[in-house]
Amino acid sequence: MAPAHPTAVLHCGPLTATVVRVARNRLLIELAGRLDIDSVKALDRRLFLPRQANIDLDLSKLDFIDDAGINFLLMLAQKKGGRAEAIACSPVAERALELGGLSALMHRPSQGTAHAG
């Protein structure tokens, strides 16, 4: 059995954030529920990020994101010395990232077999 990675579960009102330390400066953050102004305030107070963290975001369980949520994701994306990437998105999260100009955060599988249209 592989050793378990350190995990923290943060309950932030209508949002649950599960943070898994995958490696020294690499985190997997799963967000479930509502990423809104109230949950962002609580999450911002409780979430500690290493200075140069590489962050994989699982947004597949988000069912609502408002402007505060988009700004929070933007802050993660602009973190100095690291990077953030959405590795999974719910339709709501994907649409919010596109509307917020953050579609570059979304992981895109290799398109090596794409054909001309």
pLDDT average, residue stretch 31-49? 95
Dist CA 19 CA 13 (whole Å): 16
* Strand order through the sheet with 26-35: 7-12, 15-23, 26-35, 54-65, 83-89
How far out from the chain centre does Cα 63 lie? 13
pLDDT 10s digits, 97-109:
998 888 887 765 5
Q: DSSP 3-state assignment of 67?
A: helix
Across 60-66, average pLDDT: 97
Give the global pTM.
Answer: 0.84
Q: What is the pLDDT of residue 8?
A: 93
Domain regions of the chain by residue span: 7-105
CATH 3.10.450.50 fits 7-105, yes or no: no
Q: Quote the pLDDT of residue 75.
A: 87
